[in-house]
Amino acid sequence: MPSVYIKTYGCQMNERDSEAVAAQLVAKGYSLAASEHVADVVLLNTCSVRDNAEQTALNKMTNVISDARKQRPNQIFGFLGCMAQSRGKELIDRLPDVDLVLGTQKFHRAAEYLNDLLGGKRNKVVDTEAEQGSEGTIKEHLLNGAAKDKAVTAFVSIMQGCNQYCTFCIVPYTRGEERSRTIPDIVAECRQLVAQGVKEITLLGQIVTSYGRRRPVTPSLSPSDGERVAKPSEGIVPLKDGKSAFVQLIEAVHEIEGLERIRFTSPHPKGYGDDLVAAYARLPKLVESAHLPVQSGSDRVLKLMHRGYTRARYLEIIRKLRAARPGIGITSDIIVGFPGETEADFEETLSLCREVEFDNAYLFKYSQRKDTPAASMPDQLPEPLIEERHARLLELINTIGKRRYEAFIGRQTQILVEGPSRRNEARMAGRTRCNKIVVFGGSARHRGELLDVKITRVGSFTLYGDPAIVNL
C-alpha cells in the first residue's frame, strides 16, 4: 500500500485538517511515512496568512521535487489547504510536477484523488470548489499517532470560515463563509474522543466565538460586501437564556463525563460577551486561559483593520475575565506595521501590552495579502521600520512574559501530562490550566495524568517543576 508524508504549515486548524487527512488515508490502507524521502506521496498543507508562509511551502515543494527527480520518479506531490485554495491551478503552472491541488473545503476527497493519481486514472487534479456541508467533514482522528501512545488531548473542528473581513486578512477568501456544525454532531465526536482516553479538548475554528450565529449559507469563496450579521432568530443555534450558541456548545461539551479540560481557539474579542465571561466563572472544565488577538493598541488602527472593538472595550474584556477567573493566562496576536501605523499608534500598542501584561503574544510583521483592502491602503510601511518596531515589541513581550512566568516559582500547580518533552525526550511535559508548558522529571506512566507539580525555575516561556517535592 502507498505511503504518505504530510507536512503542515500554519495554525492549529491546519494541524487538525492534516490529522483528518492522515486518518482518512490510513483508513483507506495508506501508511504514514517518516519523511518525504521514503514516501510515495508528499502533501504540503499550506498557510496563506503571510507571504513568508507561502514562500516557505513553495521552496519546500521545489526542493522535494528536485530531489525526487533523481531518486523517486513516481512520487506524487500535492498542495492542500489555504494556499491551494487561493492559488489553485497557478501552482501547477508554476511547478508542473505537482499532481494535486486541494482546497480548504475538499480535504475529505484526498484519498479518492490520490487513488486516481496513483492508479493512473487521472493525470492532475485541481479541486478548489466550495462544497455544501464541508464544515462537517473534518472528523477523523489519529489518536494513536506517530508516538504510538494514546492521545491525551484532541482538537475538534467546530466550524469553518470567517465573515469578519479584517482588512489585512486573507482567511475569509481561503476558508470561505462561516459555516458551523451542529451541537449534537460536535458533542458526539467529543464523547468518542473521551471514551478513547482524551482528557482535554480544544474547540477549533477561524472565529469560534461566532459559532452557530449564521444560517449555513450557500458556501461561497468570494468576498461578500462586508459582514452579514445574522439576527438571533436567523442563526442555526438561537440565543437561549441570553447565552450565545458558542456558550451553549461549551456547556454541552462540559457535560461529558471523563472530560477534564476544555479550551478553544481562535476567538474574536467581539465575541467575549458577558455570557462567555460568566461561563468562565461557572464552568470548571473551561480552563483559565484565553487567547485574545488584539492586533493593535491604537483605536485609529483598529478601525482601519475593521476589528470591531476599541482599545477601551478590549481592556474591559480583560478586566472582566480576570475578575471572573483570577490567574487566567492571557495571550494575544499583534500585527506590527499595518499600513499607516504611526510611531504614536505603535506606542499605543506598547502601552496596551504594558497595561494588559500578556503571558505571551505572537508578533506578526504586516504582510500585504492579495485582494485584501489593506493591501491597497496608502502608506505601506518600509521593511526596516517594521523590523525595528517588531524588535522593540518583542523585547517588551519577552520582558513581561519572563516576569509573569517567574511569578510561578515556588507555586504548586496542576498539569495534564501530555508526553515526553520536545526538547529533552528524557523528561516529561504537561500543561497548566492557564496553558503554560511545564517540564519535569517524570516517566511515561504519568502520561494522561492530572498531576500537581511545584514550579522550581523558568526558561523561555517554559516552567520547570518537580512532582517529588509536592506536599513537603
Binding site for ligand 5AD (CB under 6 A): 49-50, 168-169, 293, 295, 333, 335, 364, 366-367, 369
Q: What residue type is 114 in one-letter code?
A: L
Q: How far is the CB of 168 from ligand 5AD (least distance, A)?
A: 4
Q: How far is the CB of 342 from ligand 5AD (least distance, A)?
A: 18
Comparison of 3 and 368: residue with beta carbon closer to ligand 5AD: 368
- Please, which residues bridge with residue 440 across strands? 428, 465
Residue 226 and residue 370: Cα distance in Å, rounded?
A: 17
Q: How far is the CB of 46 from ligand 5AD (least distance, A)?
A: 14
Q: How far is the CB of 364 from ligand 5AD (least distance, A)?
A: 3
Q: Residue 162: name the closest of 208, 206, 128 by CA.
A: 206
Comparison of 53 and 64: residue with beta carbon closer to ligand 5AD: 53
Give, to the nearest 10 degrees, the angle between helix 343-356 and helix 311-324: 10
Mark residue 471 as left, alpha or beta (left: phi above 0; alpha: psi -120 to 50; beta: remaining): left
What stretches of 307-394 adopt beta strand conformation (E)?
A: 329-336, 360-365
* Phi, psi dihedrals of residue 302, rounded to the nearest 5°: -55, -40
Q: How far is the CB of 354 from ligand 5AD (least distance, A)?
A: 19
Helix (H, G, I), strand (E, B) or coil at 102: strand
* Phi, psi dihedrals of residue 91, rounded to the nearest 5°: -65, -35
Comparison of 56 and 192: residue with beta carbon closer to ligand 5AD: 56
Distances (CA, A) of 436 to 32, 52, 163, 429, 430: 30, 27, 31, 10, 8
Comparison of 174 and 432: residue with beta carbon closer to ligand 5AD: 174
Q: Which cell numbers in the block locate residue 304?
A: 482601519
Q: How far is the CB of 425 from ligand 5AD (least distance, A)?
A: 30
List CB contacts of 207: < 8 A, sequence separation 6 or more: 159, 162, 163, 164, 178, 266, 267, 268, 271
Q: State the residue for C-alpha cell 475529505.
A: 108
Q: How far is the CB of 444 from ligand 5AD (least distance, A)?
A: 34
Residue 436 and residue 413: Cα distance in Å, rounded?
A: 10
Q: How far is the CB of 95 from ligand 5AD (least distance, A)?
A: 24
Comparison of 293 and 329: residue with beta carbon closer to ligand 5AD: 293
Distances (CA, A) of 15 to 8, 21, 35, 84, 275: 6, 10, 17, 15, 30
Distances (CA, A) of 292 to 262, 267, 334, 375, 395: 16, 7, 10, 24, 20
Comparison of 122 and 365: residue with beta carbon closer to ligand 5AD: 365
Comparison of 65 and 377: residue with beta carbon closer to ligand 5AD: 377
Q: How far is the CB of 147 from ligand 5AD (least distance, A)?
A: 27
Comparison of 113 and 264: residue with beta carbon closer to ligand 5AD: 264
